[in-house]
Amino acid sequence: MKRTKQENKKKPNILYKRILLKLSGEALMGDKGHGIDPATAEFIASEIKKVVDIGTEVAIVIGGGNIFRGIEASVKGIERASADYMGMLATVINALALQNAIEKLGLQTRVQSAIEMKALAESYIRRKAIRHLEKGRVVIFAAGTGNPYFTTDTAAALRAIEIGAEVILKGTKVDGVYTSDPLKDPSAKKFDVISHFDVLKYNLRVMDATAITLCRENSIPIIVFNLQNQDSIKEIIYGKKIGTLVNSQDT
């Protein structure tokens, strides 16, 4: 039986086989001031499906700032450790919302929580997470590291190292790393490539210092990109230069 021309076409090579996608809780808000916008969750899910369909294994770490932010709450009088645990629970709510949106598109997902809650999610087990990824399931890591005083940025770096992710993709509302906030400073200049060291040196707030240090010590690149642009994740997977690359090389 002869193959059609369409079948004979080779699929483009993908640059990354396994990624960790870092999302802030605010990414789920859309145009709302708080909470979860279902349409935004559906958009993010559709972008994830595009890269799963081309063979990339996807793990996700999501924040909880759209519901509750531990640091801000501690400033207002809640004891810091308690506030951070409350923030971890907010990330579980977001993980379940994203799981629902992804599964509506026909993908299999697993939510793994760093805090045990059997009725809602699996407990985080590294080898089990890797096995899920190998089977083509999307794995959503919730509850940060399970420890107060650590952010979901640090959780993203830690999980990326543990599962052998080749890159961390950090989805934001801007298209890369700038010398200052481009939404507030029109003169801000964008970096196409910058080193982990320079991110720390110039306090550019790509991720927190602990996360950047972990990535630097373990040679994990970070790509900061605009999550709101359609097909951006897929284009990164195919090797298109989008956003800002943070790596271990001097720039």
For 164-181, what is each residue's pLDDT tens digit?
999 999 999 899 999 998
pLDDT in tens, 127-138: 999 999 999 999
Rounded mean pLDDT, 53-61: 98
Closest C-alpha to 247, from 161, 164, 165, 168: 168
| pLDDT for residue 235 is more than 60 | yes
Q: Is 172 exposed, middle or buried (0-12, 13-18, 19+ CB in 10 A)?
A: buried
The CATH number of domain 12-174+199-247 is 3.40.1160.10: yes
pTM of the model: 0.91
Quickly state the pLDDT bin for 3 (edges 50, 70, 90): very low
Backbone φ and ψ for 89, nearest 5 degrees, come out as -65, -35
